[in-house]
Structure 1
Amino acid sequence: MAAELWPVSDVLAFLAGSWRVERTVRDLAADVTGTFSGTTDFTAEGDGLRHFESGMFEWRGVVRPAERTLRYVPGEERGTAVVCFADGRFFHGLDLRAGRYVADHPCSADLYRGEFTVYGVDAWRAVWRVKGPAKDLLLVTEYRRAEDGGGPRG
């Protein structure tokens, strides 16, 4: 039985705070699986949020630190967001008002297709399928609000 979707009226308010992150990265072509475990902090920056993720990434038996930064700004429609890379380039839109959203991001000849699903005030998932001549990946990320993450929002 599928989990019930949780509509989010304001994606920026919902995401604000700290989240525990568990990610599985599968290279389908090479039949290799890696994992990432860490935190994501969404902190106020300008009219949006700064997304900073940090943790440890294990790939082919090697564990090393990993981090990334994104920026979430208000979208054109109330309650939505635009996700940008740290350098300001557009990544994808995000609209969780129905509890689920699908976004595409072409990158050279590869296509990143992200599916975002909210399961409750403290739980959501991002699944990215990356397909093309250079990549054949499946990335599944589970987010759980950290106990000190500011409580439910949105």
Structure 2
Amino acid sequence: MAGDLDLRAGLEGRWRLTRRVEDRVLRADMGFEGEAWFTPVEGGLSYRETGQWTGAPWGALSGERSYLWRFREGFVGVRYPDGSAFHQFKPGLKAEAKHLCGRDLYTGLYRFDLPSAWSLTWHVRGPHKDYSSATLFAREV
């Protein structure tokens, strides 16, 4: 991947997502199936996902979330919808990210195989959380 513009262009559009979550606190192995969209906005991309939880202790609930991806000076800043920072990473075929939520540390790994696929894995450890989440994204055609 040559740079920010290649990543931005490669992510635009619709994706099918499959997520596996192993929560060691809840002692649950859960899934989330759905769709995600990247749409252009000023300074970056808007990300939105929707889907259905399976195997979760709370039952088969629908879920959704959204972020803003900002492309600036060799980094991608991922922000919550209110504009506050979530994490940032340096674009490449692999990219690492970290986020501290209170005393819980999120360590993420992006892998980009654009234009057809990409993935994001989070390992979350701390006094309140202990889980791993692996999400695979496949291009919708």
Length-normalised TM-score, structure 1: 0.84
Structure 2 counterparts to residues 4-23 of structure 1, below 5 A:
7=1, 9=3, 10-23=6-19
Q: In the alignment, does 2:70 pair up with 1:73?
A: yes
Q: Does the Cα contact within 8 Å between 1:54 and 1:66 map onto a contact in 2?
A: yes
1:63 equivalent among 44, 60, 64: 60
Taking the aligned partners of 1:64 and 1:141, their CA distance within structure 2 comes to: 18
Could you tell me how far 1:8 is from its partner in structure 2?
Answer: 5.3
Query: Out of 107, 110, 133, which is 1:139 matched to?
Result: 133
**2:27 corresponds to which residue?**
31
Q: In the alignment, does 2:109 pair up with 1:115?
A: yes
What CA distance in whole angstroms lies between the structure 2 residues aligned with 1:63 and 1:47?
36
Q: Distance in 2 between matches of 1:32 and 1:46?
A: 39
Q: Are the aligned partners of 2:17 and 2:35 in contact in 1 as well (CA < 8 Å)?
A: yes
Q: In structure 1, what residue type is equivalent to 2:38?
A: F
String of CA shifts for 1:81-114, please: whole Å, max 9, x gaps.
21101110111113232x0011100000000000
- Please list the CA deviations of residues 36-74 of structure 1 after superposition, one character each: whole Å capped at 9, or x if unmatched: 000110001112111010011121271011000100111
Equivalent residues of 1:11, 1:81 under 8 A apart: no
Q: Percent same amino acid among aligned pairs?
A: 30
RMSD: 1.4
- Determine which of 123, 126, 138 is the counterpart of 2:120: 126
Deviates more, 1:118-127 or 1:102-111: 118-127
Q: Which runs of 5+ in 1 are unaligned?
A: 1-6, 148-154
- How many residue pairs are counted as aligned between the two chains? 138
Tell me whether 7-16 or 26-35 shows the greater mean CA deviation.
7-16
For the Cα contact (< 8 Å) 1:110–1:135, is it kept in 2?
Answer: yes
Structure 1 residues 42 and 106: CA distance shift in structure 2, 3 A: same
Q: 1:121 & 1:65 partners in 2: Cα distance?
A: 28
Report the alpha carbon displacement of residue 28 of structure 1 after superposing the two structures with TM: 1.9
Cα distance, 1:120 vs structure 2: 4.1
